[in-house]
Chain A
């Protein structure tokens, strides 16, 4: 894009070139339409037409007569099919089941993914890629395989869960949470990636400024990525490292030495390292 942009600007300024430009623009519009055609055709044929046809069919029912051997007759019933579904107690029960499922599944999945994303982002976690892959893998497992795995785990005779928890995960009361657990297992990694990506997009300056103002719960990643971060010296010390680095950072930020205080940081860190090693 940066190569094309300067080329186009002078052409527009020259009056003699105006007509070809509009032609080109028209051609471009046309090209866009042509390129959109495959998508539009597929959308219309495989989504819109079937949906409309299903809506049309939903206004009809099949009626048999006598023993039913004469074959069905299509009868137009207006909204009769919808009314009989709304009046069906099994439909009400299934709505309740879905609502209960969502109440268990959605909060546990979102909270789980957020916690995992914050952990990944915090720098507390070593082998980040391995962990994110491990959490993400259930999403890539085909649903049928996942179902089989959980069927073995849940089985009251073969599976370990009944023995470990003392609760039969397939008993009437535990069944719905057990199903919600499978869905959460499958989706938590996917949502974690989304949260993690969003966290990565937070500008570094904002995080640093927040930390400078004394915010304690700011992701520590920024410190890690600081060029020349002396914390590198301390790699391997895990949690200690980050807690100490954050402490040092905050002190200098408050003194307005944030960007220029690298020298201080280094000295501080030498001290810190000495302390950690001295343990």
Chain B
């Protein structure tokens, strides 16, 4: 099927199988490999991207759901030279170890802050409860999100 949607503010028109997973479209068709697959069943959150301002597991979204949607991946969030405050805070607060959960974690946090820039600590914990980190005890991650909140920053 032909599907038209935007990825990181770029218009995309792709001819893909209707049940192709968004994560595979991103990684295989668009070479956006910052999105990681950790479970393929929506349990670990490492493949989280933002779809129309909401965090979704890209392993659970398929091509036929993408028409007209706006997708943001970690690549669309920022670069080292022009980072999102969340990326800076994750680096500075030592919220990154093995890094395999990191991009999904940042995208979940970003979706929360778009909706609720003043999110409380409990809101942050709820928003990130679908993202597993096996290296840390989450403290640094929560600190990073709070630091990013304080520094304000751009919105999508």
Does A associate with B in a complex? Answer: no
